[in-house]
Every structure is written in C-alpha cells, then in structure tokens.
Amino acid sequence: MADRKPIESWLTDMDGVLIHEGIPIPGADAFLKKLRESGRPFLVLTNNSIYTPRDLHARLNRMGLEVPIENIWTSALATAQFLDDQRPGGTAYVIGEAGLTTALHDIGYILTDHEPDYVVLGETRTYSFEAMTKAVRLINDGARFICTNPDETGPSTEGPLPATGAVAALITKATGKQPYFAGKPNPLMMRTGLNAIGAHSETSAMIGDRMDTDVLAGMEAGMQTFLVLTGLTRPEQVENFPYRPSKVVDSIADLVDRI
C-alpha cells in the first residue's frame, strides 16, 4: 500500500474532541494555537445547525479557545452550499434556528411556506407540532425533503434530547419520503468544507470522536482519520465497525506534535 502524503490541512469535530459539556478538553487550546501559528488550512466542524459561525466563535472564545469565524463549518453551511449548487435562488420552508436560516439567506434563498422548492429540517430547541404538520403537507404537495444532519439525539445536562434525525423519521413516516442529509456522515460536508479552505482530501486529516459519523465521513471523503477517545466512541467499540480509523489516540493532545 502506498504511503499517505503528509498532512497539510486538518478538519476536526468540535463536541467530544475540543470541548465536552461546555468545558475545553485538555490539549485543545494547544492544538488550535499550533494550527493558527502554522498557517495550515483547518476547519472546526459541527453537525449542530443551531448556531452561526459567529455564534460558535463567541462561545468557543468564552471557553478560552480561539477559532476564527472563517475556520468554522457547520451542517447548516453545508446544506446551504448543497442547495445553492442544486437550485440557485430557490425557496424553502425551514424548521430550524438562526444558524440555518442565516446560511440560507446568505445564498439568496427565500424562506416561505407557499409552494417552496424544499422543506429544510434542522436542529431547534423547540420542535413545533404545527411546523412539522406543515412540513408533512408541503412534502406531500411536492417539496423536496432536505435535512441538515441525521443525528437522532443531542446532548443536554438532563440527558439526551430528540434531534433532527428523530424528527426526520417522524416526517418520513407521515409522508413516505426519505430526506437527503447534508451533514456527517455524508462526505459532502467534508468535501464542501475542504473546498471552502482550498484543501485536498489526499493531504487532509479528520479528527472525531464518533466512528459512525466523523471517521466514516472522513474515510469516504478520502482523508486520513483520527479517532479520539474523549467523546462517544469507546475503545472496545471500534472493532464493532467494518472499517477502522487511520489511528486511535487518547485525545487531541496526542496530535499537537503532528502539526
């Protein structure tokens, strides 16, 4: 097998890699500092579509982690890029928060519930039964069904919360229509992110804490993959998957010297 090319750009997941329950993971600050100083292209990714990159920049900054706005890539941005490529200047009925609606406004989309081209489902703190009912009817009337990400649950201090994937399943059950998911593990999110920073998959690496999203998406996009054990996937679970990361490390701290 041919040796991999040296890593020139880095993509890293946020939750479980850089932060955990609002607290920076040891080594995250050193990793990001070395990336900034190296001048290498990098992105911090998240499947969460609630926040804009500006929001996430401010939240990370309050935790002591400096990530420039242009180095943050969300499933909302990936979804907007996909829709802009598919149907420029289209219309959409959106269930989601500012991260998603802002991304769609920025590509020139009109948000409407009158014969939209798409129904776009993202993350929100309060899923409305009325909004879901409207989405079902619009999809039945011909709107295409798009979701930012397939995560079925999200974290909270009280325990797991229903997330986009779970609500998508409800809408699919009511319409018989499967959505197209733009976020991880769809390698589309990686490829659009790489394009955004002018990087190439052959010389890029993806760091994540989940085998079923981060590692899978990175692998399918043609990147080297690093699994950290500070998030959801435990060491004994790695062998349960039919694919492997390029390397398993304890935490982001173990990768600082790789930059």
Annotated binding-site members for Mg(2+): 13, 15, 209
First to last CA, the chain: 24
Q: What would the two tokens of residue 244 be?
A: 């492997």
Choosing from 13, 29, 117, 214, which is the catalytic residue? 13
Give catalytic status of residue 15 as yes or no: yes
- Sign, CA dihedral 41-64-226-12, equals negative
214 is catalytic: no
User: What number of residues does the chain have?
Assistant: 259
- Residue ranges for the known binding site for substrate are 184
- Cross-sheet strand order for the sheet of 204-208: 72-74, 42-46, 9-13, 204-208, 224-228, 247-249
Cβ(15)–Cβ(231) below 8 Å? yes
Binding residue positions: 13, 15, 184, 209
Q: Are 111 and 101 in contact (CB under 8 A)?
A: yes
Sign of CA dihedral 161, 26, 204, 104: positive
Q: Which of the residues are catalytic?
A: 13, 15
